[in-house]
Amino acid sequence: MITNIPGYLRIGSQRELKKACENYWAGKISLEKLELTARQLRKQHWETLHQAGIDLIPSNDFSFYDQMLDMSMALGVIPARFQELQRSFANPHCLELYFAMARGYQKNGFDLTALEMTKWFDTNYHYLVPEFDESQTYGLQCRKSVHEFKEALQLGIRTKPVLIGPVTYILCGKIKSAGITRQALLSRLLPAYIELLTALREAGAEWIQLDEPSLVTDLEPADTALFQQAYTAIRQALPHQQLLLTTYFGGLENNTQLALQLPVDALHIDLVRAPEQLDDVLAALPENMQLSLGVVDGRNIWKNDYTVSTALIRRATAAIGEQRVMLGTSCSLLHVPYNLDDETALDPAIKQWMAYAQQKVEEVAALKQILAGDETLLTINRQVMDSRRTAPGIHVPAVKARLAAITEADFSRPLAFAARQALQQEKLQLPLLPTTTIGSFPQTVEIRQLRSNLKKGHITQEQYDHDISTAIREAITWQEALGLDVLVHGEFERNDMVEYFGEQLEGFVFTQNGWVQSYGTRCVKPPVIYGDVWRPYPMTVDWSRYAQSLTDKPVKGMLTGPVTILQWSFVRNDQPRMDTAFQIALAIGDEVKDLEEAGIAIIQVDEPALREGLPLRKKQQGIYLEQAVNAFRLSVSQVQDSTQIHTHMCYAEFNDIIAHIAAMDADVITMETSRSQMELLEAFAQFRYPNETGPGVYDIHSPRVPSVTEMSKLLHKAAALLPVRNLWVNPDCGLKTRKWPETEMALRNMVQAAREVRKEL
Ligand code: GLN
Ligand code: ZN
């Protein structure tokens, strides 16, 4: 039986790639040094998989920034605005252009905004959205995947190059010129795509993996036709190339026939998310097609239950024979951390239930061994699975009882929004178009150092508290000087908006090295929710109270919402996800209540990940949204009507869920809109969204400083769409990844823009 890994990690177990890229951007290391780091990482990854005995080892799963951007570079999908920059480079396919498209470019007389970024299906990974326009000519432009295949070959490893499939690539992109249909676009792109496949074939690739996760989503009939068109053309051009069509993140459902009709040699399916699809696929699998079973979870950190997996695999082998079955992880391991062995501080009782990428690869190998007759591995695994069902902390009766006692009234505030708005205005006395920020300020080396020194015991709690207080005090003075209306404390004490809370709640454990990539060089370290969640003591009250004591302006309390905590954690898989969300909501609700009691008049509960939890299939979305909105409401509804509840969301598209956003009934919602030029607000306008909104006027993902005029224009655009008295002025998101000087310039411009627009309206 062949073992198959759809993709491995790339950032480095010590985040080497992150550091190298950032140093390269800062001009601290050369391109050669950056490329050396990349080469070393690729080698390590290939060798890890090779040593574990994996047969189909991925290549081109490495990326300096994002695999979708890699495809755009490969095929020449360069947006019109970057083409002049491209011509200005000696090497037109160079990394310089690549990073410019990823991060924006404000240098040598150019001022180019980055590609839009959005979530990769239902993950917390963000890709750069391809932009298709009239001006482009396609062709094999960047041979990265070929180089990497050859690089592995030189190390003695014949890899399986991984590409985003042509249809998913197009469906995940945006057509910028009117009149281009997807079908026409595909016809134009296919020759380039085929050129790429041909180059890989000529380099010696036996298998090529084409990722088509859009096959687990609801497809329009026209999209279905794209699959036929693409794969027929590819097969015609490369009649003998072995193609592995790869799906993940869900079941094929009504696309099963479509997938099975495509002229490919093997199909990979996700049996962790959708084990029920196995029988349908087996029943209709064409005789010349192999089936790759994704049985080891690529999206979560729990140890595989071998009893469950072997049963699935045996069903497949019984139906189609061992020769046609491959065995692997459900999806790329990009979404889990490197190696559990690096976790030296984890409670061993909990650690024994977990597996990271390295262990998951070993699990795939172990499953193969069990199927070959090794019973001991199975027995040991059964014991571990049993211990998890009964261990202390997993089921806490008091938490279960509180959850059972929730009533309808717990989800609503006493008064409706209009009445609350009047009370809040009376209390807060804010100007028209109030200015604020989303919460975090630059996390400088000193601030990070401070936290790490406390963790390592190099400084006392008193010293730490003193230094954090100083940072907060300086931030308050600085915001007052800038003239912002609603201030924040700056979140200096937080490493990450979820981990910070996870560390203080029961039912969570946190890891030392559990990093996963979020976008580009940004990584997050999700906590692990292993048991029932509750809050033993207040988490943010002291810092908020202190910040508020320094100023007469309101300082927002700053919390992360239940859905986001859920979404950005590794969640236990032994009870429904939403039960866990409601437990978190009760804990956050306790904090909201305590903040109010401490005199905090505005409390922001961030839910940037609300949409991210949206099931990929429409028919499951309604119930999810209802429950997610309820979890949010449960966390904020216990306050007085004069207390203003904010929420914040980023890089989301709201058009289809606007009714649910409204149902959250936050007094104010701030959100990312600048990169898409306020496109998002149109949905709010159409819906006649009743509450207050703060559409972001400045893109915080890039160091670029937006001008006053630019932001004024966006404000005018917003004012044309929504009632002015309901509008706020703020950046797209928190500023933790920025540097102070650019932040100061940008916020000064932002306050100025608000002042000017106030006069003009
Ligand atoms: N309050 C958080 C911050 O400013 C929000 C971050 C987010 O939405 N991702 O950092
Ligand atoms: Zn945000």
Each residue of 496-505: pLDDT tens digit?
Answer: 899 899 999 9
By the 8 A CB rule, do 417 and 665 touch?
yes
Mean pLDDT of 427-447: 98
Mean pLDDT of 177-183: 94
Question: Which pLDDT belongs to residue 303?
Answer: 98
Where is the binding site for L-homocysteine, in residues? 438-440, 491, 606
CB of 608 sitting under 6 A from ligand 1: yes
CA pair distance 687, 676, nearest whole angstrom: 19
Token pair for residue 97? 């252009």
Pairing of strands 126-128, 117-119: antiparallel
Q: Which among 494, 558, 648, 649 is the best mutation to test ligand 1's pocket, defined by most ligand atoms within 8 Å of the CB?
A: 648
Distance 439 CA to ligand 2 centre (A): 9
Question: Which pLDDT belongs to residue 254?
Answer: 97
Where is the binding site for 5-methyltetrahydropteroyltri-L-glutamate, in residues? 15-18, 119, 124, 522-523, 568, 612
Where is the binding site, in residues? 15-18, 119, 124, 438-440, 491, 522-523, 568, 606, 612, 648, 650, 672, 733
CA pair distance 264, 654, nearest whole angstrom: 36
CB of 733 sitting under 6 A from ligand 1: yes
By the 8 A CB rule, do 304 and 379 touch?
no
Neighbours of 287 (CB within 10 A): 6
pTM > 0.80 = yes
Has residue 143 got a pLDDT over 70?
A: yes
Mean pLDDT of 609-618: 92
Q: Whose CA is nearest to atom 9 of ligand 1?
A: 608
CA pair distance 304, 301, nearest whole angstrom: 9
Pairing of strands 516-519, 522-524: antiparallel
Q: Whose CA is nearest to atom 4 of ligand 1?
A: 734
Neighbours of 587 (CB within 10 A): 24
Has residue 622 got a pLDDT over 80?
A: yes
Question: Which pLDDT belongs to residue 465?
Answer: 98
| Atom in ligand 1 nearest the alpha carbon of residue 734 | 4
Distance 238 CA to ligand 2 centre (A): 45
Q: What single letter denotes the amino acid at residue 646?
A: H
State the greatest distance between any 2 C-alpha atoms of the chain, in Å, as a whole number.
Answer: 79
pLDDT tens, residue by residue, 88-142: 998 877 899 999 999 999 999 999 999 999 889 999 899 999 999 999 999 999 9
pLDDT grade for 651, boundaries at 50, 70 and 90: low
Distance 442 CA to ligand 2 centre (A): 14
Q: Whose CA is nearest to atom 8 of ligand 1?
A: 608
Question: Which pLDDT belongs to residue 104?
Answer: 95
DSSP helix, strand, coil percent of the chain (3-state; round to 5): 50, 15, 35
Q: Which among 124, 438, 559 is the best mutation to test ligand 1's pocket, defined by most ligand atoms within 8 Å of the CB?
A: 438
Ligand nearest, relative to CA of residue 738: 1
Mean pLDDT of 67-93: 94
Q: Whose CA is nearest to atom 5 of ligand 1?
A: 734
CA pair distance 717, 669, nearest whole angstrom: 17
Neighbours of 698 (CB within 10 A): 26
By the 8 A CB rule, do 705 and 742 touch?
yes
Q: Which among 497, 612, 669 is the best mutation to test ligand 1's pocket, defined by most ligand atoms within 8 Å of the CB?
A: 497
Q: Report the chain's mean pLDDT, rounded to a whole number.
A: 96
Q: What angle do CA 322, 282, 55 make, to 5 degrees?
A: 40
Closest CA to 59 of 200, 198, 166: 200
Q: Residue 489 catalytic?
A: no
Question: Which pLDDT belongs to residue 653?
Answer: 75
CB of 69 sitting under 6 A from ligand 1: no
Q: Whose CA is nearest to atom 3 of ligand 1?
A: 734
Question: Which pLDDT belongs to residue 666?
Answer: 98
Helix (H, G, I), strand (E, B) or coil at 480: helix
Has residue 70 got a pLDDT over 80?
A: yes
CB of 497 sitting under 6 A from ligand 1: yes
| Atom in ligand 1 nearest the alpha carbon of residue 440 | 4
Question: Which pLDDT belongs to residue 643?
Answer: 98
Distance 177 CA to ligand 1 centre (A): 33
Question: Which pLDDT belongs to residue 186?
Answer: 98
Mean pLDDT of 639-664: 91
CA pair distance 568, 499, nearest whole angstrom: 9
Distance 80 CA to ligand 2 centre (A): 28
CA pair distance 363, 377, nearest whole angstrom: 10
Mean pLDDT of 407-431: 97
| Atom in ligand 1 nearest the alpha carbon of residue 558 | 1
* ipTM, 2 dp: 0.99
pLDDT grade for 656, boundaries at 50, 70 and 90: confident
pLDDT tens, residue by residue, 724-754: 999 999 999 999 999 999 999 999 999 999 9
Where is the binding site for L-methionine, in residues? 438-440, 491, 606
- Please pick, among 126, 268, 335, 701, the residue that the annotation labels catalytic: 701
Has residue 611 got a pLDDT over 90?
A: no
Distance 735 CA to ligand 1 centre (A): 8
Has residue 655 got a pLDDT over 90?
A: no
pLDDT tens, residue by residue, 335-352: 999 999 999 999 999 999
| Atom in ligand 1 nearest the alpha carbon of residue 604 | 1
Has residue 187 got a pLDDT over 70?
A: yes
Q: What angle do CA 731, 129, 31 make, to 5 degrees?
A: 90
By the 8 A CB rule, do 692 and 421 touch?
yes
Question: Which pLDDT belongs to residue 506?
Answer: 97
pLDDT tens, residue by residue, 272-330: 999 999 999 999 999 999 999 999 999 999 999 999 999 999 999 999 999 999 999 99
CB of 701 sitting under 6 A from ligand 1: no
pLDDT tens, residue by residue, 253-267: 999 999 999 999 999
Has residue 650 got a pLDDT over 90?
A: no
Q: Which among 119, 124, 487, 491 is the best mutation to test ligand 1's pocket, defined by most ligand atoms within 8 Å of the CB?
A: 491
> Which residues are 58's β-sheet partners?
160
Question: Which pLDDT belongs to residue 612?
Answer: 85
Closest CA to 494 of 730, 736, 670: 736
CA pair distance 166, 186, nearest whole angstrom: 8
